[in-house]
């Protein structure tokens, strides 16, 4: 797989048997991209579910994210090796810096260099960033080169469309991965989304995911319910009209859901 798959399975907030079941169901339904992170505390369970699935490693696209306390050069590679052991694999396909965490004591060019070293050692096929604003993305590009950064994984939903940041990333040729695409489910009750869903005989979740896919983003929705996992996948075949897209574009309200103190940058 040379590019980041457009549709993956997120595992944020899923623990223990819940995440094992979600990943098992997802793989059975045809998901082949799985997104996790060190701080999620579920890499071992994700690895267990993958091992039990019988799906070949080469058919999967695995993403994990380095947590803030592991950014120092003497910690980043060892922490990724621990993640690989939990995931029961000798490499992941993508490793991200989870949050820029300005002022945490490790300079950006230092942790980006350590991440590039992890790739050089074959521990990860690609590297990228998550939750970086324009200025910090520029610094990451300066540190490791534009072509080295596979994606910036950012919060994006119809209520938080992040157009300035997306425009910058796309101009630099850096792929956009959307998380929190359903805004913790808040957009699912939106009457505009509901009307579009009714018109297409689709679910609101399918409409929102199809919106993100049409804009060229990858999406990684999670669910604990097999029927929702199956339903979400159908968003890939839902074709929204230009009119539908325009109505969703008008829903922007800077509705950010995730903004942790000490980890988040100054948002654009």
How open is the CA angle 220-28-211, to the nearest 5 degrees?
30
Burial class (CB in 10 A: 0-12, 13-18, 19+), 214: middle
The 3-state DSSP class for residue 151 equals: strand
Nearest to 11 by CA among 69, 60, 63: 63
Are the C-beta atoms of 63 and 84 separated by less than 8 Å? no
Q: How many CA atoms lie within 13 A of 90 on its CB side?
A: 3
Q: Is 71 part of the annotated catalytic residue set?
A: no
Residue position matching structure tokens 């804009």: 215
Among residues 31, 40, 71, 159, the one annotated as catalytic is: 40
Nearest to 218 by CA among 84, 31, 14: 31
Active site members: 40
């Amino acid at each position: 797989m040379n590019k980041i798959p457009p549709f993956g399975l997120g595992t944020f907030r899923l623990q223990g048997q819940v995440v094992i079941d979600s990943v098992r169901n997802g793989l059975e339904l045809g998901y082949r991209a799985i997104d996790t992170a060190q701080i999620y505390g579920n890499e071992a369970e994700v690895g267990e579910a993958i091992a039990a699935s019988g799906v070949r490693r080469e058919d999967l696209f695995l993403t994990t994210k380095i947590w803030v306390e592991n950014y120092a050069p003497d910690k980043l590679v060892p922490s990724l090796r621990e993640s690989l052991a939990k995931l029961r694999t000798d490499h992941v396909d993508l490793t991200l810096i989870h949050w820029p965490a300005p002022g945490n004591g490790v300079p950006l060019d230092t942790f980006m260099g350590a991440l590039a070293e992890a790739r050089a050692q074959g521990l990860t096929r690609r590297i990228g960033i998550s939750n970086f604003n324009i200025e910090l993305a520029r610094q990451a590009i300066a540190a490791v080169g534009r072509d080295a950064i596979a994606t910036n994984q950012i919060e994006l939903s119809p209520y938080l469309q992040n157009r300035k940041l997306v425009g910058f990333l796309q101009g630099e040729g850096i792929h956009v991965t959307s998380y929190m695409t359903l805004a913790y489910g808040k957009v699912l009750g939106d009457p505009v989304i509901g009307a579009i869903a009714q018109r297409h005989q689709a679910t609101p979740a399918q409409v929102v995911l199809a919106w993100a896919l049409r804009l060229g983003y990858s999406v990684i929705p999670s669910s604990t319910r097999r029927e929702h996992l199956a339903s979400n996948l159908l968003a890939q075949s839902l074709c929204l009209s230009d009119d539908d897209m325009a109505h969703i574009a008008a829903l922007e309200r800077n509705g950010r859901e995730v903004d942790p103190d000490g980890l988040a940058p100054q948002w654009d």
